[in-house]
Amino acid sequence: MEHTWRWFGDRDPITLAQVRQTGATGVVTALHDIPNGEVWPVEAIRARQAQVAAAGLVWSVVESVPVHEDVKRGGPLRDRAVAAYQQTLRNLGACGIDVVCYNFMPVLDWSRTDLAYPLEDGTWALRFDADQLAAFDLFLLRRPGAAAEYGPEQTARARAVLDALDDAGRARLVDTILLGLPGSEERYSLGEFRAALATYAEVDADALRANLASFLRDVVPVAQEAGVRMAIHPDDPPRPLFGLPRVVSTAQDAQHLLDAAPSPANGLTLCVGSYGSRPDNDVVALTRRFAEQIFFVHLRSVRLQDGGRSFYEAPHIAGDADMVAVIGALVAEERRRERDGGPRIPMRPDHGQRMLDDQFRETYPGYSLIGRLKGLAELRGVEQAVRRLLPVG
């Protein structure tokens, strides 16, 4: 597999020179300064390519070209935003960039409640705690209708969480959820977040799924013509949040979106940790089932807690997912593609722990240098072992 590294541009505390030393050959990045719904100009794309190439690397995958909220909710700017997305795909294809990772999560991108959850070995991990999220939703956000969505037991647990937090802890929880995590384009105050949620009041799962299908029917043919493969990222976490539907959470969801616009340009980002955050998802079976449609891979793993309601980011090969079996399925698919002339499979480590010197330097949450370096080394070792042991043919 092609080994890549997520880089957030010039504001990333980790430099391209450091990325080069990790063993990665490809960079996964985006033009984060361009507003959602606007066209990425060819000149800006080529400038970023040249910047990456000057460091001895290649811009391998776009992550992400964000989908405008009016596309997701069917708002008045929907057609304009889709047209801009189509032109961006044409421009990326003209520059030779052939994989675009994106998501279709309403309002918020990926969500966590703790950015420095201490593990037994002294490292810090990202964590999603269902009771902390409920405490925020019920008592800090005070979302209309929220009380009806939580049972008495979870409400009591949420109240206990809130009561245990001082003012600084409550502010930290609000900031963690609303200020956006790396890759997110959204930043909200409590009032802005309530207003954004209200715009989805009439959008249920069926409507969101229909809007995704409509988007795919519009952009996938353009992507195919431009030589670009669309790789949708699953919901993270893969469940409804704040009354918002989510429709890329299960194997059934993945099949639905692939069927909505059948094309060699319509495929998946296999995020092992996202799919693995639901106990009812068999990530190994999902990898084997959709192997031909997997265009990009996030090799990260989680440990489920509280009966699967909560989770934390585990070391890359020490989570609940059978990472050896996942990589084995990907290597088997890559060999098939090598034989039949199919495209490469870029992969990257994701959400490494903060450890050693990373605990004393500024890094984006989940995107530490040493934690991801350790993860990439482990994953490359698994891949090499699988390649030697997996029968050819």
* CB neighbours of residue 10 within 10 Å: 11
- Are 143 and 86 within one domain? no
Q: What CATH code is carried by the domain that includes residue 232? A: 3.20.20.150
- Are 243 and 182 within one domain? no
* pLDDT 10s digits, 177-188: 987 666 666 778
- Are 88 and 210 within one domain? yes
> Which of residues 196, 211, 244 is at a domain's end?
196
- CA distance linking residue 155 with residue 140, whole number of Å: 13
For the packed helices 78-94 and 205-226, what is the interaxial angle rounded to 10 degrees? 30
Overall average pLDDT of the 91-116 stretch: 96
* pLDDT 10s digits, 274-316: 999 999 999 999 999 999 999 999 999 999 999 999 999 999 9
- Are 245 and 312 within one domain? yes
- Are 156 and 28 within one domain? no
> Which of residues 146, 172, 196 is at a domain's end?
196
| pTM above threshold 0.75 | yes
Active-site positions read: 233, 271, 298, 350-351, 367
The pLDDT score that the predictor gives to residue 109 is 87
> Which of residues 178, 196, 214 is at a domain's end?
196
The pLDDT score that the predictor gives to residue 391 is 79
226 lies in some domain: yes
- Are 186 and 274 within one domain? no
Q: Choose among 288, 366, 295: nearest CA to 327.
A: 288
Number of domains comprising the chain: 2
Q: In terms of C-beta distances under 8 Å and separation of at least 24 residues, what long-range contacts does 14-22 make, across chains too? A: 14/363, 14/367, 14/369, 16/51, 16/52, 16/54, 16/55, 16/57, 17/55, 18/369, 19/55, 19/57, 20/55, 20/56, 20/57, 22/372, 22/373, 22/376
118 lies in some domain: no
Determine the structural domain holding residue 179 and report its residue range. Answer: 124-196
* pLDDT 10s digits, 114-139: 999 999 999 999 999 999 999 999 99
